[in-house]
Amino acid sequence: MGLGGQVLGMATWKCSLGRVLRWMGLLAWMGGIAVEARPLVPPQGLEIGSEERRALRLETDRLGDELKRLKSGTGLAAEWWPDVAVLHKAVDWALRFDEFQHTNEVVQAQRILKLGLDRAAQLREGRADWLTATGRVVRGFVSRVDGSVQPYGVVVGEGYRKGGRLDVWLHGRDDKLTELRFVQDRLRSSGEFAPADAVVVHPYGRYCNAFKFAGETDVLEAMEEARRVYGADPGRMAIRGFSMGGAGVWHLAAHHPGLWRAAAPGAGFAETAEYTGVLTKEPALPSWERRLWRWYDATEWAANLRQVPLLAYSGEKDRQIQAARVMERAMQAEGLKLEHLIGPGVEHRYEPGVKKELARRMDEWMQSALPAWPELDLICHTLRYPAAVGGIWLRFEALESHWEPSRLKARRMGENRIAIQTQGVRSFSVGNIPDAPTGGWVLEVDGQTVGGRVGGSAGLNEDGWRRLERTGRGWRWAREVELGEGKRRGLQGPIDDAFLDPFLVVVPSGKSRRAEVDAWVKESLERFLTDWRAQFRGEPRVRRDVEVSADDLERYHVVVWGDPDSNRLLGRMRGRLPVRWDRRGIRVGKTGEVTEGGVASFIALNPLNPDRYVVVNSGHTFAAWDGTNARQTPRLPDWAVWVLDGGGARVARAGFFGEDWK
């Protein structure tokens, strides 16, 4: 449903944070936006026998006690306790939140606990045999986003050697894929593709959100952890997936083109509007929400696939062939041709013969040499994806306008000259350009020769980059590394962007001048924490405003609830934010319209540490589940002002801040 101007009822919250009453059809929550009643996910689990529950609880608590000792230990225990913790969490959460989804999961839970206790015993003895095992292994890491322990699987090929290839496999959607089920699947199945010379990483991806938001960060962290352990070559990484996993591949290939030696999306979805038909169902959808589809719509980033060898697969009778068709059109508009294998006569699955051909083609790409000097053609809609990964040696630094297409194109001219064309770019950086001639490269930007040379070791700063900025007189090398306090890489909004990186929830210790504001804040906060646990499978870090330290402000984006009267941390920021509170109401900007009786939700640079965000009165802004992963997109922009009336709330106004955060 459209949010703008619609009165949205508020349900009374009488449930403890420890349980989610999924079977009662709680209102889904989008960072304080109540929408139509819909069961939360995962669905309510099966009842298990009291004796079985008691026995599992005893063994789970026993493993929990072992885990506490490991976390406070030294040596291998201090480093590898997450590999035990994921096994404990798989069973503990199933017990705590009634998430046993299948009758055989009690037996599976017993096996997982036994494996956890065995690993704990090994760590006490100073060994960790699973680190050198081949075949299927379940692993874990501590998420930098919320400090939770997240599982992932690896399949270590018998022929894998250090410095070899790393493949990523993204799983399909399963509404019942709790940690318990995921761990069991990773112990019993090697998945669709398991090359003998590769380490295959199976990210969990936060359950069922198409490997977006925190799920996207998890994919990158699981890859990095696997590379660290198994010594894979960062220049030989591939990504494949099917169904929801195929959607994840379309996204990650187009948004991180420098990471992948090859990519193979199977089915899935690649954009929101056409796949869901939402504009037919909801023609009054707010303009800001439609604009924010450009965050994840792979069609908008199709130009980046010029840098990625990509082979799509679809079943001939699969309705999700739509993803490949729409990407085919988007790539064609960029002068690219999509290679698309189609499984004859099948619906939503791999056809065996075509699957073999897909594997053969991927193996060829992974064994082939990289191009000696790749020309670049990059597109950017948000600095969340500045393009500087892997072999990409250009990096977006500042845009003329977020959510509009910005481009960087580079081609070689002669022996020592590179021509770069820009569109919608205010600043960009140049890294270590390959195949540099003696003395480095001469750069020509938009027809202007820029003094000085770069490439190899010539002209670059300590971080291996050198920044160019556009002035009224043309392009010049920037005098400083920093960009100031405008929108920049990793600090560009919208609200949902804060939840891809480490964040801290800050709750008020005081009271607002208006009781209805306190009630709204309390309910919104509780629903956010509950929904984060249910959908994102973690429990966020939480502090009271009086407990926030200087170290917290240094390390985290702060997600602050309340207003300057009720929350002391927000009070310290009063007068230094683009949203202002006064006795009349809420004002956005110095001269903006005042909204009486309102509550503000927004993201901005934290004035107490401009290298981090402050988010006020919002969690993630999309529903945990809306019938399809393709609707898990941001529902609010940089700021929104709510009006509370009659026990409900409506968005009175919303919009984006400028590139200067004003």
Domain positions in the chain: 46-97+102-131, 132-367, 376-399+403-477, 495-655
The answer, yes or no, to whether the previous bond of 352 is cis (omega within 30 of 0) is no
- The mean pLDDT value for 35-64 works out to 85
Residue-level pLDDT at 525: 97
DSSP annotation of 206 reads: T
Residues 6+ apart with CB under 8 A from 281: none
Per-residue pLDDT band for 288 (boundaries 50, 70, 90) equals very high
Match 């083109």 to its residue by tokens: 257
Residue-level pLDDT at 373: 77
Residues 6+ apart with CB under 8 A from 285: 2, 278, 279
- The mean pLDDT value for 619-644 works out to 89
Average model confidence (pLDDT) across the chain: 91
pLDDT tens, 237-280?
A: 999 999 999 999 999 999 999 999 999 999 999 999 999 999 99
313, 265 in Cβ contact below 8 A? yes
Residue-level pLDDT at 421: 98
Amino acid type, 476: R
**What stretches of 376-501 show up as alpha helix (H) in DSSP?**
none
Residue-level pLDDT at 624: 62
Q: Which tokens in the block code for residue 194?
A: 């398991």
Query: Is 297's pLDDT higher than 60?
Result: yes
Other Cβ atoms less than 10 A from the Cβ of 333: the count is 11
Q: Tell me how many degrees the CA angle 524-526-528 measures, rounded to the nearest 5.
A: 70
Length of the chain: 662
Query: Is 323's pLDDT higher than 50?
Result: yes
608, 571 in Cβ contact below 8 A? no
Query: Is 337's pLDDT higher than 70?
Result: yes
pLDDT tens, 352-362?
A: 999 999 999 99
Residue-level pLDDT at 175: 87
The side-by-side arrangement of strands in the sheet containing 648-655 is: 8-9, 648-655, 639-645, 598-606, 609-616, 557-560, 503-507, 541-544
Q: Among residues of the chain, what percentage have pLDDT more than 90?
A: 80
Give the count of alpha carbons within 13 A of 371, CB side only: 12
**Most confident stretch, 5-19, 454-468, 614-628:** 614-628
Residues 6+ apart with CB under 8 A from 258: 307, 387, 388, 389, 390, 391, 392
Distance, in Å, from the CA atom of 380 to the CA atom of 398, rounded to the nearest integer, reads: 10
Match 């703008």 to its residue by tokens: 4
Residue-level pLDDT at 625: 66
Residue-level pLDDT at 592: 77
pLDDT tens, 414-462?
A: 889 999 999 999 999 999 888 888 888 899 999 999 988 887 666 778 7
Residue-level pLDDT at 457: 61
Query: Is 4's pLDDT higher than 50?
Result: no
Residues 6+ apart with CB under 8 A from 47: none
Distance, in Å, from the CA atom of 529 to the CA atom of 98, rounded to the nearest integer, reads: 18
Q: Smallest Cα–Cα separation from 259: which of 289, 291, 295, 304?
A: 304
Residue-level pLDDT at 17: 35
DSSP annotation of 42 reads: S
Beta-strand pair 503-507/541-544 = parallel
Residue-level pLDDT at 346: 98
Higher pLDDT, residue 464 or 654 = 654
Question: Burial letters for 136-170: b for 16+ Cβ neighbours within 10 Å, e otherwise?
Answer: bbbbbbebebbebbbbbbbbbbeebeeebbbbbbb
- The mean pLDDT value for 591-608 works out to 90
Distance, in Å, from the CA atom of 489 to the CA atom of 118, rounded to the nearest integer, reads: 44
Residue-level pLDDT at 40: 64
Q: Among residues of the chain, what percentage have pLDDT more than 70?
A: 92
* Helices 105-124 and 50-71: angle between axes, nearest 10 degrees: 20
pLDDT tens, 97-128?
A: 999 999 999 999 999 999 999 999 999 999 99
Query: Is 557's pLDDT higher than 90?
Result: yes
Residue-level pLDDT at 480: 66
DSSP annotation of 310 reads: B
According to CATH, the topology of domain 132-367 is Rossmann fold (3.40.50)
Residue-level pLDDT at 13: 30
Query: Is 14's pLDDT higher than 70?
Result: no
Give the count of alpha carbons within 13 A of 537, CB side only: 30
In order of 141, 253, 629, 662, the CA distances from 247 in angstroms are 24, 10, 9, 35
The CATH class of 495-655 is alpha beta
- The mean pLDDT value for 281-293 works out to 95
Residue-level pLDDT at 463: 79
Residue-level pLDDT at 39: 54
pLDDT tens, 492-531?
A: 999 999 999 999 999 999 999 999 999 999 999 999 999 9
- The mean pLDDT value for 364-382 works out to 90
- The mean pLDDT value for 54-80 works out to 97
Higher pLDDT, residue 19 or 44 = 44
Residue-level pLDDT at 94: 97
Per-residue pLDDT band for 647 (boundaries 50, 70, 90) equals low
332, 363 in Cβ contact below 8 A? no
204, 274 in Cβ contact below 8 A? no
